[in-house]
Amino acid sequence: MKIMKKRIIALTVLCLGIVTAATAAKLIPNTASEQKSDDKQKEIVIEGVGISKTIEATGDETIRIEGTNNKITIKGSCNAIKIEGVDNVVTVDDVKSISVEGTGNKVNYKKTSAADGKVISAVAGVNNKITKI
């Protein structure tokens, strides 16, 4: 009988954890924020699921995208793009550095203003692609 009670308690705790996680996921909104530092560099952060957004960049921004199935267009030049997530698609006019972690992310860039003419890239994960268009 003690073993049965322990199993019921464990199952109850597990179910409560699942319900809590599901409720929390519904309460967390998709967000896009711009965090500016006092130096020249600023970071634009986009977090969430299914966000479609166009960003006007001036050349000194780092744009960080975290989440799933976001479609981001970056007009102008940015310093760096950092992606963590799944199935994000980013199109950028001009970028110096691209970092991608996750699965199925795609970055399309038109040109790079890096000194040597080559975009600096780091890719970790599966089916991530960086393509010059």
Block residue for tokens 């799933």: 68
Asked whether the CA dihedral 109, 112, 117, 120 is positive or negative, the reply is: negative
Residue 91 lies in a domain: yes
- Output 33 or 75, whichever has higher pLDDT: 75
Alpha-carbon distance 49 to 31, whole Å? 9
Kindly report whether the global pTM for this prediction surpasses the value 0.75: no
Residue 39 has pLDDT above 90, yes or no: no
Residue 9 lies in a domain: no
Q: How many distinct structural domains can be found in the chain?
A: 1
Q: Give the SS3 label for residue 128.
A: coil
Residue range of the domain that includes 103 = 30-132
Residue 3 lies in a domain: no
| Confidence band of 112 (pLDDT split at 50, 70, 90) | very high
Distances (CA, A) of 77 to 9, 45, 63: 56, 16, 11
Residue 12 lies in a domain: no
Residue 22 lies in a domain: no
| Confidence band of 115 (pLDDT split at 50, 70, 90) | confident
Residue 36 lies in a domain: yes
pLDDT digits (tens, 9 = 90+) for 73-105: 999 999 999 999 999 999 999 999 999 999 999
Residue 76 lies in a domain: yes
